[in-house]
């Protein structure tokens, strides 16, 4: 096989893999997983008005 043939085959394989990955990532089955992951940052926040940091308590 020539280098150009191998390069072309590899390009097609990588393109098909990329398209498969995009379809998998944006499928409706994954939507709930991504919504859950997007809200993880808010899970550690204290509820407003219930907890104060040490710095806020020192200034009161």
Please write the tens of the pLDDT for every residue from 2-56. 999 999 999 999 999 999 999 998 888 888 888 898 888 888 766 665 555 555 5
Domain count, the chain: 1
| Exposure of 10 in the CB half-sphere (CA atoms within 13 A) | 7
Whether residue 29 lies inside any domain: the answer is yes
Residue 21 phi, psi dihedral angles, 5° rounding? -65, -45
Domain holding 3, by residue range, is 1-41
pTM passes above 0.85: no
Whether residue 15 lies inside any domain: the answer is yes
User: Residue 45: what pLDDT?
Assistant: 67
Whether residue 23 lies inside any domain: the answer is yes
């Amino acid at each position: 096989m020539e280098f150009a043939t191998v390069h072309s085959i590899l390009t097609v394989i990588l393109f098909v893999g990329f398209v498969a990955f995009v379809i998998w990532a944006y499928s409706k089955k994954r939507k709930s997983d991504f919504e859950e992951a997007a809200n993880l940052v808010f899970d550690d926040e204290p509820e407003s008005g219930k907890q104060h940091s040490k710095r806020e308590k020192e200034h009161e």
